[in-house]
Amino acid sequence: MKTETYWTRALEQSERALKSGALVPLSTSLERISSSPENIFELRTLESRLPKHLKREGPKPNPFQPWDAQLEVARLNTGHAVILNKYPVQRGHMLLITDEWAAQEGWLRLADWTAFVHIDQDTSGLWFFNSGPIAGASQPHRHLQLLPRSKDETSCPRDLWFQNRLVSQGTNASSSDPLWNGCSVISRLSHRKDPDEQAQDLYKGYLSLSEQLGLGHPSQDQRPRSFHNLLVTPEWMAMVRRRKEGAAGFSINALGFAGYLLATTNSDLNWLKANGPEALLREVILEIRGNTVVESSL
């Protein structure tokens, strides 16, 4: 059974950071949208002021060099730190960042996965990674993100969609849906308990997904050939290749594919109501058919 020490530390640090003003939770209203059991979305509409990191104009200083000590949860001996997301929707939202500069657009390294396993063995949940601005990353400094989940919680609203996508990959099933074709999923279930072996498995899985979606390999490419999102739960790991950052006034990162959408004053809610959340995701995904990239499916 997991001890959830990091989640506990994150919640305790959140209380202190709230009192000091270092933590600025976003105020939102919540609406659930469902077209089928596997396509469930949580739409949050921002009610508080738009944070600076969500604004596209102007230069953005690196908030991780140095990071705010009032947001620090832990330091790891892998060259990483765990800090709180300064503008959380969920309390306890953590970032796993590199101590030294590493580009968000670069390849994740084995050391990143070693740090990942160190946290994940204690506190699991929904991990996600946005590889660059087209994938919804708000900062260029390397960071993975974790939304902790209790053992009774579903990792994300669209968990069943990814489970079904995983099953379909073991068959000859084909689909004309760009959303289906622009995503690749592998199982994360493993009986290996050694942390270093787990990190190796995750790193190999990450590279396998990258090759499946035509992103290349670090042995041949200085950085991935395309922007992408990564989602990791205790059961599966998924990667989505991206062609643009947003649509209909919505900024979409990995959480959008997990079933979490955030509406701001720029978002066209009428468009979303008329077309549905799945259509929004199809607008931003880069479809792969066989080994061919389909630049536009719409």
Q: What is the pTM of this model?
A: 0.93
pLDDT (mean) for 238-242: 97
Which carries the bigger pLDDT value, residue 125 or residue 176? 125
Phi, psi values for residue 18, rounded to 5°? -65, -45
- For 124-151, what is each residue's pLDDT tens digit? 999 999 999 999 999 999 999 999 999 8
pLDDT at 293 > cutoff 50? yes
* Predicted pLDDT at 61: 80
The domain tally of the chain equals 1
Q: What is the signed CA dihedral for 258, 71, 86, 261, rounded to 10 degrees?
A: 10
- For 7-31, what is each residue's pLDDT tens digit? 999 999 999 999 999 999 999 999 9
Do 184 and 169 form a contact (C-beta atoms < 8 A)?
A: yes
Which carries the bigger pLDDT value, residue 157 or residue 152? 157
Peptide bond into 37 cis (omega under 30): no
* Predicted pLDDT at 296: 42
Which carries the bigger pLDDT value, residue 54 or residue 229? 229
Phi, psi values for residue 66, rounded to 5°? -85, 160
pLDDT at 295 > cutoff 60? no
pLDDT at 6 > cutoff 50? yes
String of DSSP letters for 215-248: ---TTT-SS-SS-EEEEE-SSEEEEEEBS-SEET
pLDDT at 78 > cutoff 50? yes
- For 84-129, what is each residue's pLDDT tens digit? 999 999 999 999 999 999 999 999 999 999 999 999 999 999 999 9
pLDDT (mean) for 46-71: 77
CATH code (residue 106): 3.30.428.70
Type of residue found at 83: I
* Predicted pLDDT at 25: 94
What confidence category does residue 190 fall into, taking pLDDT thresholds of 50, 70 and 90? Answer: confident
Q: Which domain holds residue 251?
A: 5-294
| Three-class secondary structure of residue 249 per DSSP | coil
- For 199-214, what is each residue's pLDDT tens digit? 999 999 999 999 999 9
pLDDT at 298 > cutoff 50? no
* Predicted pLDDT at 92: 97
Mean pLDDT rounded to a whole number for the chain: 91
